[in-house]
């Protein structure tokens, strides 16, 4: 099978406009949090840039299932997304190698072209959905208080000593919530704005990696909310 025959993993969701910029303009630094996706895999994985050689390769620390790691070790395709100053960037490339020891690392070819992803603004509908926020290797109880196919607002309790209080704009984390008939979604997101008041942390966020099924599930749930509430 040639590279042209391989299914191309999507970079941008349907609710986005995309412009292309040269790879030379990539704003990448050691420590940058990224989201990794591979073809035909419904889940995305959070990782962190741990090294790079400009115009040659990028090294990402990311824990992947053994099957996916083996595919990438053989030169499989990969999509990498990251956020910089409130804007999502992404590129499609081939993995150069993937190793498990001494650390779970993926070596990715340096992109010639990067896509700048501008999500269209959508009206968010007020909801009240139990959820769980995953950040700093810990799970935090939360409520999703508004929702659209581009992002959501999350409310969580965070004491002064809770690591969650150190959250900053552009930080990435994962939220999971149950949409009932549409199932449980677990989505990576980026923080766009933060409000702290009386021990309650309110985060305005945008989704970093929404596939078509997840987008459809949110859309169906919002239609139900619209139909059954005023």
> Going by C-beta distance under 8 Å and a sequence separation of 6 or more, which residues neighbour residue 73?
95, 97, 98, 99
Cα-based angle 16, 17, 19 (whole degrees, multiple of 5): 135
Domains and CATH numbers, the chain: 3-119 (2.30.110.10), 125-228 (2.40.10.220)
Nearby residues of 194 by Cβ (< 8 Å), 6 or more positions away: 167, 168, 169, 201, 202, 203, 204
Instruction: Compute, in degrees rounded to 10, the torsion defined by CA atoms 181, 186, 187, 192.
Output: 100
More confident call, 160 vs 31: 31
- Specify the range with the lowest mean pLDDT, choosing from 6-10, 175-179, 199-203: 6-10
The pLDDT tens digits of the residues spanning 100-154 come to 999 999 999 999 999 988 776 778 899 999 999 998 788 999 999 999 999 999 9
pTM of this structure:
0.77
pLDDT score of 2: 39
Residue 204 has pLDDT above 90, yes or no: yes
Across 66-80, 90-104, 108-122, least confident range: 108-122
Residue 212: is its pLDDT beyond 70? yes
Pick the more confident residue, 165 or 105: 105
Residue 42 DSSP SS3: coil
Partners of 186 in beta bridges = 176
> What is the predicted pLDDT for the residue at 170?
87
The C-alpha atoms of residue 34 and residue 26 are separated, in whole angstroms, by: 13
List, for residues 1-52, the tens digit of each pLDDT value: 334 444 555 676 666 678 898 888 887 789 999 999 988 887 889 999 999 9
Q: What is the mean pLDDT of residues 69-85?
A: 90
User: How far is residue 130 from each of residues 32, 81, 118, measured CA to CA in Å?
Assistant: 29, 27, 28
pLDDT mean over 222-226: 92
Distance of CA 127 to the CA centre of its chain: 22
The pLDDT assigned to 134 comes to 92
Q: Would you state the pLDDT for residue 42? A: 79
Burial 128-151 (b: 16+ CB within 10 A, else e): ebebbbbbeeeebebbbbbbbbbb
- Which residue in 161, 167, 203, 211 sits closest to 186, CA to CA? 211
């Amino acid at each position: 099978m040639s590279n042209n025959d391989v299914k191309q993993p999507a970079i941008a969701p349907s609710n986005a406009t995309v412009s292309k910029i040269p790879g030379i303009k990539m704003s990448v630094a050691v420590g940058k949090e990224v989201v990794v996706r591979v073809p035909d895999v419904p889940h995305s994985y959070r990782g962190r840039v741990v090294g790079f050689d400009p115009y040659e390769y990028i090294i990402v620390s990311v824990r992947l299932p053994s099957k996916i790691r083996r595919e990438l070790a053989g030169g499989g395709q990969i999509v990498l997304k990251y956020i910089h100053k409130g804007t999502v960037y992404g590129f499609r490339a081939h993995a150069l190698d993937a190793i498990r020891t001494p650390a779970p690392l993926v070596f990715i070819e340096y992109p010639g072209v990067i896509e700048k992803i501008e999500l269209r603004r959508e009206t968010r509908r007020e909801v009240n959905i139990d959820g769980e926020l995953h950040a700093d290797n810990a799970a935090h109880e939360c409520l999703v208080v508004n929702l659209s196919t581009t992002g959501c607002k999350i409310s969580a309790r965070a004491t002064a000593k809770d690591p969650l209080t150190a959250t900053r704009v552009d930080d990435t984390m994962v939220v999971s919530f149950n949409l009932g008939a549409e199932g449980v979604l677990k989505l990576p997101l980026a923080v766009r704005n933060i409000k702290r008041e009386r021990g309650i942390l309110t985060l305005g966020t945008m989704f970093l990696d929404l596939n078509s099924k997840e987008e459809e599930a949110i859309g169906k749930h919002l239609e139900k909310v619209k139909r059954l509430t005023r």
